[in-house]
Amino acid sequence: MALTDDVVIVRPQTTMASWRRRSLLWQVAGYLAMAFVVLMIGMPVYWTVVASFKESREIYTIPPTWWPEAPTLANYMRAWNAAPFGRYYINSLITTTSSTAIKVVFAVFSAYALVFLRFPRKNLVFLFLLAALMVPREITIIPNYITVARLGWINTYQGIIIPGAAVAYGTFLLRQYFRTLPQEVLEAARVDGAGHVRILWSVVLPMSQPAVVTMTLLALVDKWNDFLWPLIITNTADMRVLPIGIFWLLDQEGVINWGVVMAGTLFVMLPMLLIFLWAQRYIVEGIASGAVKG
């Protein structure tokens, strides 16, 4: 009668301890990398805020002070009065909201068509869309300017808004999200007799709210911070937008008063910061939803 011994393999404690140490090291490395990125991104923002409360002599002091010795709000009043920021705000609000609304509408309809409609050469259309993403915006400035000039839209709101109304990235972003939607829900809507407009409005958009909000936020920030095109297409102060107002502050000072410039910069930053704080939960939902569906 042959006896067989059971072989029991016991993992050495040293191996588990080594694995835990490596895991801890990677975790620490990840936190350090994140802290470095936050420092690199946050330091300019912090310096902008702090410098807006400093006098000019303190800003030029070496070594620099990391907190104002005598905080002052005078820079904000000087910045507001040095350029017509009230008018700049109105122009930026008009151009940004109008351009963003048009971009979102075009992106939603074109993305829906690329995903849920059948038409010839659909893949070729999507290929052209991807090709448009590769074209630098600066290349389109001269053709757009010539077109706008021939239409008589120089120094007008439509001249600022229309050339950037169609954005390939928004269509691409929403198309990719629409493709992740459950087909069972869409099929149920079709069985109930819903047409394309009803499906888009009652089914696709509510399920795609995080992606639509994300695309809207990206379009808002892009148009709010747009500098080059409004600078080229406008030629009077009453049609300028906020980013040009910052340039106006730089241009008006013989010796640049950086405290005033930083205060003006905060005029541009704060609205987008508040909108982002409101919309960040939708962005997080979109990222988490995409991770689950992916």
Note the pLDDT of residue 97. 92
Over range 16-40, report the average pLDDT: 84
Note the pLDDT of residue 101. 92
Mean per-residue pLDDT over the chain, rounded:
82
pLDDT at residue 294 greater than cutoff 50: no
Note the pLDDT of residue 193. 81
Note the pLDDT of residue 160. 92
Over range 259-271, report the average pLDDT: 85
Half-sphere exposure of 20 (CA within 13 A, CB side): 5
pLDDT at residue 269 greater than cutoff 70: yes
Neighbours of 149 (CB within 10 A): 12
Note the pLDDT of residue 276. 81
Highest mean pLDDT: which range of 56-60, 62-66, 154-158: 154-158
Q: What is the pTM of this model?
A: 0.78
DSSP 223-266: HHT--HHHHHH--SGGG--HHHHHHHHHHH-SS--HHHHHHHHH
Note the pLDDT of residue 122. 83
Over range 71-83, report the average pLDDT: 83
Domain positions in the chain are 94-239+283-293
With bands split at pLDDT 50, 70 and 90, how would you rate the model's confidence at 292? very low
Note the pLDDT of residue 60. 76
Q: At what angle do helices 74-82 and 258-293 cross, to 10 degrees?
A: 90
CATH code for the domain defined by 94-239+283-293: 1.10.3720.10
pLDDT at residue 4 greater than cutoff 60: no
With bands split at pLDDT 50, 70 and 90, how would you rate the model's confidence at 3? very low
pLDDT in tens, 149-203: 999 999 999 999 998 887 788 888 888 888 888 888 888 888 888 788 888 888 8
Spatial separation of the C-alpha atoms in residues 157 and 276, rounded to whole Å: 25
Q: Which of 55-64, 98-107, 136-145, 208-217 has the lowest mean pLDDT?
A: 55-64
Spatial separation of the C-alpha atoms in residues 149 and 147, rounded to whole Å: 5
Over range 208-215, report the average pLDDT: 86
> CA 38 → CA 27, 31, 176, 250, distances in Å?
17, 10, 29, 28
pLDDT at residue 1 greater than cutoff 50: no
